Structure 1
C-alpha cells in the first residue's frame, strides 16, 4: 500500500527490510527513487535527528558515478528517511552467495569502482565506516567492465555514523560489521579514512577466496584476530595483487594505501589479470582454540550477541547481528554490531600468529592428523602412550603422598584436602 513520505515522495513497494529500517521503491518529482525509511524508535531519538540534519549537506554533496547518491533527507513527524538514487540490480553479497568467489579480473574491477567511490568520499571528509558486500550494489543496466563485471556503486553513506551517537555508543562500544573492522577501531581509536581502505581490502580478499581473512566463530574472536593475527596467503594469487592486499590489510593505518592510490593500482593491474580463473582453494578449518570450550571468547563473554542455537538449527551467518540492539537479524543482512571493546590483555590473548591458512583444493594440510601418514600415526600413538603412563605414575605418587598423613592431622604443604560432602 502506498504511503506518503514528506510532501514530495510516495513509497509504493518494499524492496528490503533492514535492522535500521525499510527500503521502499518510491516516486518523487524527478521519477523513481529508493527511500530508506528509518525505524520509528530511531526517528523518535531527537539527538539522532539532530545529527541526521547536520549530515544533510555533506551527504547531498557527494556526487560520483560509483556512489549511490542521496537526493534528499526527510524529517516529517515520525518519518526519518533518506531518498536515494534507484539502482536496478543486486548487491555484491547476493552475487557472492551465488558464485562463492570471483575471477581475479572481475573482483579487482569491482574493488576499483568502490575505491573510486571512497576516494570521492574521503575528499569530502566523509568516512563510510561500513564497507562490506551488502553495501556494494551492482548496476545490471550499466555497461560491463573488465571480467564481465557490472559497475559497482557504494551505498549507505552516513548510516553507521548517524546511529553511532554519543548516547547509544560509549567509548567501550564498537559499531561495525566484525569481519570488516579495522584493528584501530577495535582498539577504540576514532575512525579515519584508512578504516575504509582496510574494509575494502577485506572485501577484495573475500571476493577472491570466498571467505574473509579473519572471520568465523564468535564476533569477539573475530575482533581479536583482526588485532593479533597476520593474514594468511592465498595459494595461486598473482604476487602483485597479494602484495597490494597485504599493504592494505596492514595493522598500522599509516602503512595502508589511500583510496585514490588503491584505485589507481587496481586499475593498473587489470590487464595482467585477464583470463585467470577463480582461485581453487578450500576454506580453512573452522576450529579456533580461542572459541573453546563454550564458543565464546574472553573479550565477548560480557555480551552474548547470538541466541542459543537449538540442535538442528542453522548456524547464525557470519557477523549477522543487528544494527539496533534487540532487533533480529534480517534478510538484507545489514550486519552492524555494537559490543564491548576487548581490553588490551584480552586482545593480546596469546602469541601473535597467522590466521589459519587456506589450501589448494584436495591438498593435505601440514600437521593434520586426518592426513598423517601411517608411520606418523604410530609415532604419535607411542608418544601419547608414554605421556599417559607418566601421568598415571605421577597420579600414583601423589596419591601416596596425600594418604601418608593417616592420623587426621593438617594436610602437608602443597597438598589440597577436599572438603566432605554435606553440612
Structure 2
C-alpha cells in the first residue's frame, strides 16, 4: 500500500530489510527512488534525528559513480501530537542485487571480476575519505551491483549511517560496533575508527569474493574478534603473488601499514591484465578449531540494508534465538580486555583445505577426548578396585571360595584385568 513520506515522496513496496530500517521502492518528483526508513525506535530518538539533520550536508554531498547518492533527508512528524516521527534517507535507485546475493549465487568469483568490483569500491572510498567521511561498515550487503546498458557498476551505500546511529548515545565508551567478520583490529581494541578501517574491511571483502569465506570468520562473534587481533590470514593458493602480497598489506594489524583507498584502487587496476582468464579458486572450506568466546553475547544489533539470507547462515545475536534470515550481523559488544585478546594460539587463523579433501577433526579436540576417556577408565578402575578390596576384607571369614577363583582367606587380594585406555 502506498505511503507518503514527507510531502514529496511515496513508498510502494519493500526492497530490503535490515536491523536499522527498511528500504522501500519509492517515487519522488524526479522519478523512482529508494527510500530507507529508520526503525521506529531509532526514529523516535530525538538526538539521533538531530545528528542526521546536522550531517545533512555531508550525507548529500558525496557524489561519485561508485557511491549510491543520497538525494534528500526527510524528518517528518507522523501525527498531530508530534509524538512520532519518521527519519528517511532518499537515495538513487539501484536495480541490481547487493554483492552478498551475487556471492551466494556464484559461491566464488573469478579473480578478475572480484578485483574489478573491489577497485571500483575503493575509488568511491577515496572520495569519501578525502571529504573526511569514514564508512565504518563496508561489507557485501552494503555494495550494490547496478546493471546499466553496457556493463555492471559496483556502488557503495549507507555512508555515514553506522556512525550516526552508533554515536554518541548508542555507541557508549568501550563498545565494539560493527560486523565482526569485517572489523579492523584497532576497532576491536577500542581505538577510534579512521580511514584505514574501511581498507581492512574492503580487502576482507576481496578475500571473501576469492575464497568464498572471510579470513577470520566462523563461530561465536567474540572468537572472530579475537582472531582479527591475533591471527594471520591463511594464504589463498592459485592467485598471483602480487595480488596476495597486496591483500596481506591491507590486512596488516597496524593501520599505518595499509594502503590508502586511491592507492589500493590503482594497484588493483594494474593487476587486472594478469588476472584475465583465471577461473574461480578451487579450494575447500577452511579447517579451524573452535575458539572460546571473548564475550558472552552481543547487547544490541544494528545494520544497514542487509541482504536476503541464502547460503550463508548468520550468527544468532541473542542466545537461544534462531539465526537472522536477513543477516543482521552488525553487532555491539564490549571491548575484550588485553588478557582475553592475548589468549589462544597465534599464527594462521585457519588452514585452507584443498577441494574434495575430507574435513579433518580438530587435533586439539581429539586430544582432549582421549584424555577424558583415559580419566574415565582410570576412575572406574579405582572404584572397582576399592569396592572389590572392601568386599574381600568383609568376606574373609566366609567359605574358602570367593567366587573369583582365589581362596578368600589366604591373605592375597584378587586381581582384575581392565581394558587398556583408548
TM-score scaled by length of structure 2: 0.79
- How many residue pairs match? The answer is 365
User: Residue 122 of structure 1: which of 114, 117, 129 is its match?
Assistant: 129
CA shift for structure 1 position 317? 2.1
Partner of 2:41 in structure 1? 41
Structure 2: distance between partners of 1:358 and 1:282? 7
Corresponding residue of 1:301: 296
8 A contact 2:314–2:324 mirrored in 1: no
Mapping of residues 187-202 of structure 1, within 5 Å: 187-202=189-204
Equivalents in 1 of 2:316, 2:156: separation in Å?
20
SS in 1 for 2:97: strand
In structure 1, list runs of 5 or more residues that go unmatched.
145-149, 292-296, 307-313, 372-379, 404-423
User: Which blocks of at least 5 consecutive residues in structure 2 are unaligned?
Assistant: 78-84, 302-309, 390-422
Give the corresponding residue for 2:336: 342
Secondary structure (helix, strand or coil) at the match of 1:90 reads coil
Q: Secondary structure at the match of 2:291?
A: helix
Shift of 1:4: 0.9
Residue 410 (structure 1) aligns with: none
Matches within 5 A, 1:375-414: 392=378
Give yes or no for the alignment of 1:52 onto 2:52.
yes
Post-superposition offset of 1:110: 0.3
- SS of equivalent to 1:272: helix
Task: Give the stretch that moved more between structures: 188-197 or 41-50.
Answer: 41-50
| CA distance in structure 2 between the partners assigned to 1:129 and 1:362 by the alignment | 37
1:5 counterpart = 2:12: no
Could you tell me how far apart the structure 2 residues matched to 1:237 and 1:316 are?
Answer: 24
Q: 1:67 to 1:328 in 2, by over 3 A?
A: farther
SS of 1:126's partner is coil
- 1:9 and 1:364 map into 2 onto residues whose CA distance is 55
The equivalent of 1:354 in structure 2 is 348
**What does the per-residue CA deviation read over 1:321-358, in whole Å, with 9 as the maximum and x for residues that have no partner?**
49xx9999755434310111111110111242211111
**How much has 1:199 moved relative to structure 2?**
0.1
For 1:327 and 1:137, locate their aligned partners in 2 and report how far apart those are by CA, in whole Å. Answer: 29
Alignment of 1:75-114 (within 5 A): 75-77=75-77, 78-114=85-121
The aligned residue for residue 239 of structure 2 is 237
Distance (Å, rounded) in 1 between the aligned partners of 2:353 and 2:249? 22
SS class of match (1:15): strand
State the TM-score, normalizing by the size of structure 1: 0.79
Residues in 2 aligned to 1:221 and 1:353: alpha-carbon distance in whole angstroms: 15
Q: 1:176 maps to what in 2?
A: 178
User: Which is further off, 332-341 or 269-278?
Assistant: 332-341
User: CA-to-partner distance for each residue in 1:118-149, whole Å, 9 max, x for gaps?
Assistant: 001101110000000000000122532xxxxx
8 Å CA contact 1:8–1:28 kept in 2: the answer is: yes
Name which one, 1 or 2, has greater alpha-carbon Rg. 2
Determine the structure 2 residue equivalent to 1:25: 25
CA contact (8 A) 2:136 2:198 kept: yes
Task: Indicate which of 276, 279, 293 corresponds to 1:277.
Answer: 279
SS in 1 for 2:204: helix
2 CA distance for matches of 1:193 and 1:352?
27
C-alpha distance after superposition, 1:28-72 (max 9, x if no partner)? 111111000111111111111111111110111100000000001
Q: Cα distance 1:328–1:162, how it changes in 2: closer, same or farther (>3 A)?
A: farther
CA contact (8 A) 2:13 2:26 kept: yes
Quick one: distance in 2 between partners of 1:71 and 1:273?
37
Q: Find out whether 1:317 has 2:313 as its counterpart.
A: yes
Distance in 2 between residues matched to 1:26 and 1:269, nearest whole Å: 40
Query: Are residues 229 and 319 of structure 1, via their aligned partners in 2, closer, same or farther at CA, if it must alter by over 3 Å?
Result: same
Note closer, same or farther for the CA distance 1:338–1:328 as it changes in structure 2 (3 Å cut). Answer: farther
The answer as to whether partners of 1:19 and 1:328 remain within 8 angstroms in 2 is no
Residues 371-403 of structure 1 deviation map (CA, whole Å, 9 limit, x = unaligned): 9xxxxxxxx9xxx79x959x959x97xx99xx9
Compared CA separation, residues 232 and 370, structure 1 to 2 (3 A): closer
Match of 1:246 in 2: 248
